[in-house]
Structures are given as structure tokens and as C-alpha cells.
Chain A
Amino acid sequence: AQSVTQLDSQVPVFEEAPVELRCNYSSSVSVYLFWYVQYPNQGLQLLLKYLSGSTLVKGINGFEAEFNKSQTSFHLRKPSVHISDTAEYFCAVSRAYTGGYQKVTFGTGTKLQVIP
């Protein structure tokens, strides 16, 4: 079984400041890792994913994340946030090489509040 921990339920940050949203996972097998964003009253949108290869993954809207196998982490970063980044962010993990999304485990989410 796998699990995901998002350490911060809310992260306030000033506009144009950098931000890091933390995510740790546990799994005994190889994993895929994801970050999703959810804007108010919207569904989830995939920001980025790690499947294999380079541990630094770049996604949409200037976000990036680094897969650290030794620390079992997949923290999300952005060097300069914008008001429009205000949303809830979900980290997710699934067992690698399995088809389908039924085995994807989501974290409880981190609400990013960008302050003007």
C-alpha cells in the first residue's frame, strides 16, 4: 500500500515570492508521482508528473518538482508566484506500471494563498 502526506494544509505567500509545497510519500515499490491543482469550483488539473528519468520535472504555469527517492519526497516549487496561483494543490502517488487510476492515492491538499 502507498500513502501521501502533505505537511501543510495552508501556505500563505506574498505575490512574486517563491513557494515550496511539501509532499512525502511511502511505498515499497516503484511509484509514479503527480501534482494537481484545483481552482475554486473546478475539477483537478494535472500540473506535472514523474514517471521515470530525470528527477527534476517541469510542469505548467512555471511550476517544477523534484523527485527525491532517498527522502521519499516530491516537493512542488515556483520561483515567483502570482495571484492567479491561489488554489488548492494535491500531491498524488500510484504504483508504477499499473494501468488505470484506481490505484492513485491523493494527499489531503495544500491551500496556497497568494497575498497581494
Chain B
Amino acid sequence: EAGVTQSPTHLIKTRGQQATLRCSPISGHTSVYWYQQALGLGLQFLLWYDEGEERNRGNFPPRFSGRQFPNYSSELNVNALELEDSALYLCASSLKGKGRYTEAFFGQGTRLTVV
């Protein structure tokens, strides 16, 4: 069974441009989470999508946005890129929790470099 897949693996953009990152969850998983892993900062929660809806977002500006498609795959868009947006962006998927623990599985990430 395929795991969580992210594309592209590496992305280089210039300041001010837009970046689009993609994530395909494990088959059957309806929840997709996006995290930013910047150097020395650990993982910061960005966005949570479930069944096509944005359920929660972390403390990031509105230029970080995304969506989830009917097949539960997801896109993260970062507009007006800044140098400090350079980071590893990780996607994870899980079954819907409904008040109980469900394990999330992580993809290998997209390394975004803003120059």
C-alpha cells in the first residue's frame, strides 16, 4: 500500500513568487495535515483539512492557504514568498479522529528554497 506522497521533492522559487506543493494521502484517509519544519524550529502546524473542508489553521499569515480535493489529495499554496519561508514542508494523513486517537503518517516532504 502506498504511503503519503508529496511532490515535488525540491522547489526553488524567488522572493515574491508563488509556490504550490501537493500531497496524496494514504488510501482511505480523509484528513490531511500540513506542517512547516524550518531550521531549528521543529514542526509548526499549518493547516488541517478533512473531507474537503479546512478544519483548523496554525499561526501563519493568510498567504499560506490550501485546499483539499474530492479524492482527499491536498495542495498547499504559499503566495508572495519570503526568504524565511524556506523550509521543509511535511504533509501527514490520518483517518478522521472523532474524539479518539488515530495515527498520522507523514510524507517525505517538499524542500522549498526561496532565493
A and B assemble together:
yes
Are B97 and A42 in touch, CB under 8 angstroms?
no
Question: Residue B101 contacts which of A41, A51, A107 (CB distance < 8 angstroms)?
Answer: A51
Residues of B within 8 A of A97 (CB): 99-100
Question: Residue B42 contacts which of A41, A90, A100 (CB distance < 8 angstroms)?
Answer: A90
Interface residues of A in 68-84 (CB under 8 A from B): none
B96 nearest CB across to chain A (Å): 7
Most chain A beta-carbon contacts within 10 A, residue among B41, B43, B107: B43
Are B108 and A41 in touch, CB under 8 angstroms?
yes
User: A108 at interface (Cβ–Cβ under 8 A)?
Assistant: yes
Known: A46-B103, A100-B94, A102-B33. A109 touches B48 (CB 8 A): no
Interface residues of B, count at CB 8 A = 29
Are A45 and B106 in touch, CB under 8 angstroms?
yes
User: B20 at interface (Cβ–Cβ under 8 A)?
Assistant: no
Are A32 and B101 in touch, CB under 8 angstroms?
yes
Are B42 and A106 in touch, CB under 8 angstroms?
yes
> Secondary structure of the A side of the interface?
loop
Most chain B beta-carbon contacts within 10 A, residue among A51, A98, A100: A100
Are A102 and B106 in touch, CB under 8 angstroms?
no
Residues of A within 8 A of B25 (CB): none
What class of interface size applies to chain A in its complex with B? 20 to 34
Are A100 and B4 in touch, CB under 8 angstroms?
no
Are B101 and A102 in touch, CB under 8 angstroms?
no
Are A102 and B42 in touch, CB under 8 angstroms?
no
User: A44 at interface (Cβ–Cβ under 8 A)?
Assistant: yes
Instruction: Give Cα A36 to B92, complex, Å.
Output: 13
Closest residue on chain A to residue B3 by CB atoms:
A43
B-side interface residues toward A, CB under 8 Å?
Answer: 4, 31, 33, 35, 40-43, 45, 48, 50, 55-56, 90, 92, 94, 96-104, 106-109
Closest 9 CB pairs of A and B: A99-B97, A43-B106, A108-B42, A106-B43, A102-B48, A44-B106, A100-B97, A101-B104, A102-B56
